[in-house]
Amino acid sequence: MKSLEIIMIPVKDRQKAKEFYLNLGFKVLVEAPDPHGETWIQMGLPGSNTSISLAGFQGIICETDDIETNIRQYESKGIAVGKIDNTPWGKFAWFKDLDENSLCLHQK
């Protein structure tokens, strides 16, 4: 992993949450339909490389340059990683920490 890319924040109402974060100074980076029938809302602070997503569940997405190598490294240490999902936005692979928090590798 090379950086924290997106922190997914669970919210009840994505549009109301968007207005709240806009009032804090965040800007909308992406607002588009997602594959699950919801709206993907990704926001960031000006000048920051890390963004937030207003989502239905918690998760942390970490950027990587080589998802396959990372998965092999983690699995050799006993960390189970899910299958790689190839999407128009890159490759994603989800896994959980010891407390069931969701983490995701993302290769652009």
| CATH value at residue 101 | 3.10.180.10
Q: What is the DSSP annotation of the chain?
A: --EEEEEEEE-S-HHHHHHHHHHTT-EEEEEEE-TTSSEEEEEE-TT-S-EEEEESS-EEEEE-S-HHHHHHHHHHTT--B-PPEEETTEEEEEEE-TT--EEEEEE-
Single pTM value for the model: 0.91
The number of domains in the chain is: 1
Averaged pLDDT for residues 53-77: 97
pLDDT digits (tens, 9 = 90+) for 33-60: 988 889 999 999 999 999 999 999 999 9
Half-sphere exposure of 37 (CA within 13 A, CB side): 0
Q: Which domain covers residue 74, as residue numbers?
A: 3-107
Confidence band, pLDDT 50/70/90 cuts, at residue 86 = very high
Residues 44 and 25: beta-carbon distance below 8 Å: no
